[in-house]
Amino acid sequence: MDELTNQAIAVLLVSLRITPTLAFASPFTLMRAPTMVRVLLGIALAGWLVAAHPAQSWQANFWAKGLFLTALGELFLGIALSLSLQLAFTALLTAGRAIDIQAGFGLAVLIDPATRSQLPLVGTLFAYAAGAIFFATNGPADLLAIWSASIERVPLGSAAIGGGITVLCTYISVVFTMAFGLGGMVMLVLFLSDMAIAFMSRTLPQMNVMLLGFQVKAMATLAVLPIAIATSGALFLRMVRYALETAPRLI
């Protein structure tokens, strides 16, 4: 009876490592799924991890620090594991927002039905492209491997965030550089369009520069954006891989 109790509690504790990624981190938040389904999926995956690592989970002395402190440590560990993916997609949304403002789409936002929040138009396209690459490659399998390795590296009851702040700062700088590199082609075209319109406004003062600028930049964005996304598949993949490689280093 004690073994069954320990196993059940271990499953619930380990699910705290998984649920933050499924519930709050992209690309999982880009899909419409009930909260209960996400929670049940996290518990099911936690049961698989507990069954695969009995010595590091339910057989470990996770009662030593108290159930509340153990649960709190597992929750912090789950947030740390989900941080890399969340920051990667946040960088894509930030780069897309910059393009929206430069192209004149700043007033137009897209309502995400999954999170019921306002998202930038171009940034949403970047995020869904990265999410498609995540699921089309070994992203889910690698994420399962990360959770499994976290059980071996940090047994139940000994959760602590050991990654230095240097790792996080380096990751943020690199991933934001990659994100703005994805939109660099579009930003360059929009900058050249602004320069051309500015020169025209000096030679033709009577021209409605603002109206012409909105039209030209909107058409330029629609023409260049598909090319930028199509030619940046390797960079999307590199961002996803880098996020998955950094996640174990944050714990």
Is residue 250 within 8 A of residue 167, CB to CB? The reply is: yes
pTM for the full predicted model: 0.84
Query: 158 φ, ψ to 5°?
Result: -120, 25
* Dist. CA 250–CA 14, nearest whole Å: 17
pLDDT at 116: 62
Task: Single out the residue of 124, 158, 135, 90 nearest to residue 237, CA to CA.
Answer: 135
**Which residue's entry shows tokens 């964005």?**
221
* Dist. CA 45–CA 75, nearest whole Å: 15
CA distances (Å), origin 226, targets 185, 232, 241: 11, 10, 23
pLDDT at 1: 46
Q: Over its length of 251 residues, how does the chain's per-residue pLDDT go in tens digits?
A: 477 888 888 888 888 889 889 888 888 888 877 778 888 888 899 888 888 888 887 777 777 777 888 888 888 888 888 889 999 999 998 998 888 888 877 666 666 555 566 677 888 889 999 999 999 988 889 999 999 888 888 888 776 655 567 888 889 999 999 999 888 888 998 888 888 877 777 776 656 666 677 778 888 888 898 898 888 888 899 999 999 989 888 87
CA distances (Å), origin 103, targets 108, 191, 224: 11, 9, 12
**Which residue's entry shows tokens 């995956």?**
45
pLDDT at 134: 92
* Dist. CA 229–CA 231, nearest whole Å: 6
Residues 6+ positions from 152 with CB-CB distance below 8 Å: 53, 56
pLDDT at 87: 92
- Helix (H) or strand (E) holding 110, with range, is strand 109-112
Residue ranges of domains in the chain = 2-183+232-250
Angle at 56 between CA 52 and CA 62, to 5 degrees: 130
CA distances (Å), origin 49, targets 5, 72, 98, 137: 16, 19, 41, 22
